[in-house]
């Protein structure tokens, strides 16, 4: 059984604590590996390594930094089968999805490698005719990267890659549940020859390693993806000491089914958005808002399509939906289902722990649909992060937009309609950082900015060129002879 070590200053090291924790497969509880339960000393060593490496890394040309990312991308692609299989065993995502995510990680690395050859500033006219004025960008320094378990390759890579290309050094704290997969990402960076101390990884509890990163005086920036409760605490702690912070904290994403929607496309998009990855996406469809005139037809098509969802071990061919990532996550989803019943929503599909033969001990939840949901209910307001959707009915498009906005979150939203006026009004009126027309709520392209409104984010954006805004600071230069 593999024991995942920390990566500090170019070496793999065991934690000083000597303590480890088993990572188990949510399908059968078999051990996937062990990870270090690191302590404050381990974290300090990693931060010092990043601090000592930042000056030399910053001075490299952008193209030279990019060359390491290109090499890491090639290695990620070469090891896609092994990385994807580990991901599936650790958190239950189906193997095709895991392979797709790993390949996306390679594409992200190549995209940001190219950023090393793009402009870093602008020439600005000065009021002094004898002067030359321009802007350039300076890296923050040491950046702490804290990531969740639901996208254990894509999310770390879309944070680490821009941090590195723009001249920062990194201390990476992955989710405990997927730290073995994280170690395989680190292998690719290390095999690419990344200089000592530029990228470090420390595993362990959030209360020690995560909080320690946020509070460390030598960490200039924190980028975090996870729950809104944890994120708000990170933001407050970072702000208190003047560190820059970036938070992506989930959503309660609506899909609107207008009276003129193509119902077959709407059903396919709803099922994919809600139940792929077992609903464990921050952009997953959680609320389905349906015009009353097409509700009956839509629901019939929805139930027919849901019967085709094949549940099981994501390593098996043909499996469409795997387990929840952990027992705690499964119990949380089941608790929300009970809450929905108590609140008076009508359970019309699923709603139980799924057990079948060899999977009787797995952390599976049936795809679940509640009807007659009211906007004030917890299942319409709180992020469930599982295969559960709530159906709400509307009579006109203005009411649909009001329902869509009636939540503290604002990450993604979609609408199915053929009406150009409704599309434009949706784009204008819906409070979400990502809006999609005749497409599911889930789905982000790596070259496009990603982030939410309201409680879904700290109002910064990840991915694409927008990542530059967080990982650098603008420096204005005035030169006079």
Write out the catalytic residue numbers: 248
Angle CA(455)–CA(457)–CA(458) in degrees, nearest 5?
105
| All residues at 6 or more sequence positions from 475 whose CB lies less than 8 Å from its CB, including other chains | 135, 136, 137, 138
Angle CA(60)–CA(62)–CA(66) in degrees, nearest 5?
105
Instruction: Let me know: does 123 contact 134? Beta carbons within 8 Å.
Output: yes
Instruction: Let me know: does 35 contact 176? Beta carbons within 8 Å.
Output: yes
Q: How many residues does the chain have?
A: 481
Instruction: Let me know: does 139 contact 471? Beta carbons within 8 Å.
Output: yes
State both tokens at 341: 């019943």
């Amino acid at each position: 059984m593999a024991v995942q070590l920390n990566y500090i200053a170019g070496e793999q090291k065991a934690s000083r604590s000597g303590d480890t924790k088993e990572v188990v497969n949510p399908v059968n509880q078999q051990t996937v590996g062990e990870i270090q339960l690191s302590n404050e000393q381990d974290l300090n060593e990693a931060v010092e390594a990043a601090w000592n490496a930042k000056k030399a890394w910053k001075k490299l040309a952008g193209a030279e930094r990019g060359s390491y990312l290109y090499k890491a991308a090639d290695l990620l692609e070469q090891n896609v089968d092994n990385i994807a299989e580990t991901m599936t065993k650790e958190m239950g995502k189906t193997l095709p999805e895991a392979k797709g995510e790993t390949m996306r990680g390679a594409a992200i690395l190549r995209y940001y490698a190219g950023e090393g050859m793009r402009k870093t500033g602008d020439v600005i006219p000065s009021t002094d005719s004898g002067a030359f004025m321009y802007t350039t960008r300076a890296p923050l320094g040491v950046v702490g990267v804290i990531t969740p378990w639901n996208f254990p390759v894509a999310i770390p890579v879309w944070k680490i890659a821009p941090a590195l290309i723009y001249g920062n050094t990194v201390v990476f704290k992955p989710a405990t549940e997927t730290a073995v997969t994280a170690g395989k990402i680190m292998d690719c960076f290390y095999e690419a020859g990344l200089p000592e101390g530029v990228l470090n990884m420390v595993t362990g509890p959030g209360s020690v390693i995560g909080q320690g990163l946020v509070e460390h005086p030598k960490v200039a920036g924190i980028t975090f993806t996870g729950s809104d409760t944890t994120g708000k605490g990170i933001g407050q702690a970072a702000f208190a000491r003047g560190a820059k912070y970036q938070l992506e904290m989930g959503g309660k994403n609506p899909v609107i089914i207008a009276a003129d929607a193509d119902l077959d496309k709407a059903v396919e998009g709803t099922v994919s958005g809600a139940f792929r990855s077992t609903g464990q996406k921050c952009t997953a469809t959680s609320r389905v808002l349906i015009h009353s005139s097409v509700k009956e037809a839509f629901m019939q098509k929805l139930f027919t399509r849901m019967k085709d969802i094949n549940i099981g071990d994501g390593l098996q061919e043909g499996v469409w939906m795997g387990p929840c990532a952990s027992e705690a996550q499964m119990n949380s989803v089941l608790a929300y289902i009970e809450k929905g019943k108590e609140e008076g929503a009508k359970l019309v599909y699923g709603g139980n722990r799924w057990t079948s033969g060899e999977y009787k001990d797995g952390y599976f939840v049936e795809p679940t649909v509640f009807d007659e949901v009211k906007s004030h209910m917890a299942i319409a307001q709180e992020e469930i992060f599982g295969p559960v959707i709530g159906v709400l009915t509307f009579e006109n498009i203005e009411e649909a937009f009001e329902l869509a906005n009636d939540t503290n979150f604002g990450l993604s939203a979609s609408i199915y309609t053929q009406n150009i006026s409704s599309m434009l009004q949706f784009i204008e009126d819906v409070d979400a950082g990502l809006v999609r027309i005749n497409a599911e709520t889930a789905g982000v392209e790596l070259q496009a900015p990603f982030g939410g409104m309201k409680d879904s984010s700290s109002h910064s954006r990840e991915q694409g060129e927008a990542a530059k805004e967080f990982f650098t600071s603008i420096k204005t230069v005035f030169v006079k002879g």
